[in-house]
Amino acid sequence: MAGPYATRGVKPSEEAAERFKTKAPTIREQVLAYVKAHPGTTCEEATQGLRLKHQSCSPRFLELVEARLIEFDEVRGPDGRTLRRYRVVEDPRQVRLF
C-alpha cells in the first residue's frame, strides 16, 4: 500500500513508499531517543540534531504522539509563532488529562 501522498498506480511512488517502510521505524527510534535526551525539544531542533530532512523527521513525531510515547506543550516562540515542545510520556499507560 502506498503512502497517503503517493500517486496511486505510479510505479516509482509505490516503490519509494515500500523502501521507506523499513527506514521509518529506525528514524522513529532515533527521534524518541533524541526527545528523551533533550526534553522540551522542537521538531526543528531534532531535525537539525539528528541531521535528518524535515520530511523524514516530522511524521515520526506525529506517530510517537499517536502512540502516546511523547507529548507536547504549545508555547510562543520569540517571533510570536506557536512552537510545540516535546517530551517523553513518563508512563504511557497514564495519559495526562491537561
In a domain, 80, yes or no: yes
* pTM of the full structure: 0.69
Q: How many domains does the chain have?
A: 1
What is the reported pLDDT for 98? 41
pLDDT at 97: 44
Quick one: 84 exposed, middle or buried, by C-beta within 10 A (0-12, 13-18, 19+)?
middle
Q: Is residue 47 part of a domain?
A: yes
Say if 48 falls within a structural domain. Answer: yes
Which pLDDT score, from 0 to 100, does residue 26 have? 87
- Backbone φ and ψ for 74, nearest 5 degrees, come out as -95, 125
Which parts of the chain register pLDDT below 50? 1-2, 97-98
> Each residue of 33-57: pLDDT tens digit?
999 999 999 999 999 999 999 999 9
- So what's the pLDDT on residue 71? 95
Region for residue 51 given its phi and psi (left: phi exceeds 0; alpha: psi -120 to 50; beta: otherwise): left
Nearest to 89 by CA among 61, 70, 63: 70
Q: Do the domain assignments include residue 26?
A: no
